[in-house]
Structures are given as structure tokens and as C-alpha cells.
Amino acid sequence: MADAFYIAGGALVVIALVVSFIGMRSDNFPSPTLLRIGIPLVAAVVVVTAVLAVKTSSEEAEHREHEQNEAASVESEVQNVENQQVGVDDESTGQPAPSSESPDALGKQVFADQGCAGCHSLEDANATGQIGPNLDEALVDKDEDFIRTSIVDPSDEVEAGFSDGIMPTTYGDDIAPDELDALVAYLYGATHPSGKKK
């Protein structure tokens, strides 16, 4: 598409140069016959060039968005691998895993450990990520079942304005069941202060 755009643009430039060159050397230029032929021809080239320019710009924007989505997905996967490696190191050295005093604290820790703050904004966690939805807004009227599904199957319902595939689909396997429960409860409580469980 970009090649066609450049060809059409080049043709438009050539036409302009030829018309200018002939016009400077002929007092009778352009003739009525040439006008009848030339005006529609030039108009057609201009229209084709404009259409190709719009399509080329759209394709480039889609390509950039695709690259950004891939980069975000890779970054999240790397964070998951690093977090899992930390857990393996703790087990191999015989060090007990850090324990939280409450499910809320555990959920907040899981949110941090899984790198959620890198993609999402959440005031309670001082998270300011911009790649994914702002959870303070996206979850304000959602229940815990919706939150859980959004974590383990993010493609089930994609937030408006965001592309499918940004969020990894492996959290259901990567996060232990008790940690997933704590994360869901924490996100619900953080975005529903009046309904926060004690």
C-alpha cells in the first residue's frame, strides 16, 4: 500500500512538472481539448493519492498498535517468569514464603508480585500503569466473579478502548488458588470501599 501511495504521489509530481514546463513555452497551452482530458485525469490522480495516503496512515497506525501490544504482553510474561523464579529460589533455600497478616494484604502483595501495576492504574496500590484499563474506573460496578474472570480469561470481555491480547491468559495457572482468591477480594475491596469485607 505504501508503494502504491508513493507511485501515485510521484505521478502527481511528474504531471505538475510537465504542465509547468509546457506552459512556460506555449502561449496556447492548455488547449480546450487538453483541458477536457487533463482536468479529469489530474483529479483522478489526486483522489487516488489521497485515498492511498489515508490507507497507508491507517495501516501504519495499526502496525504501531500491534507492536505496542506485543511489547506489553512480552513485558508481562517476563515479569511473571521473574516472580516465579523468586518463589523457586525461596523454596530451594528453605526460606518460608512471606506471609500476610490478612487476605487483603496478601491480595495487595500478589498484585505487586504479578506486575499488575506495570499495566494498570489502581489508587490503593499507588499503581499508575497506562497499558491496560484503570481499575478504579473499570471495576467500580463489577462483582467478584467478573474480576476473577477478567484475570483468568481476559478475552471474555475486553474493556472498550483496549485491544484483546494485551493481558496474558496464563494467570489462572500461574497464580495459586488462595492467592487468586486474595487478589480478587483485594481488587473488589479497593474499588468498592463501601462494600469492603472486614
Looking at per-residue confidence, does 147 or 69 come out higher?
147
Looking at per-residue confidence, does 81 or 126 come out higher?
126
Q: Which of 27-31, 56-60, 84-88, 133-137 has the highest mean pLDDT?
A: 133-137
Distance in Å from the first CA to the final CA of the chain: 59
Q: What is the pLDDT of residues 78-111, one digit of tens each?
A: 777 777 776 555 555 554 455 545 778 999 999 9
- Non-local (6+) Cβ contacts of 59 within 8 A are 1, 2
Rounded to an integer, what is the distance from CA 164 to the centroid of its chain?
Answer: 8
CA quadruple 143, 149, 150, 156: dihedral, nearest 10: -120
Q: What is the pLDDT of residues 146-191, one digit of tens each?
A: 999 999 998 888 888 888 888 988 998 999 999 999 999 999 999 9
- Non-local (6+) Cβ contacts of 115 within 8 A are 75, 76, 79, 80, 83
Return the pLDDT at 92: 56
Write down the pTM of the prediction. Answer: 0.49
- Non-local (6+) Cβ contacts of 72 within 8 A are 119, 131, 132, 166
The proportion of the chain whose per-residue pLDDT surpasses 70, expressed as a percent, equals 68
Whole-number Å distance between alpha carbons of 21 and 41: 18
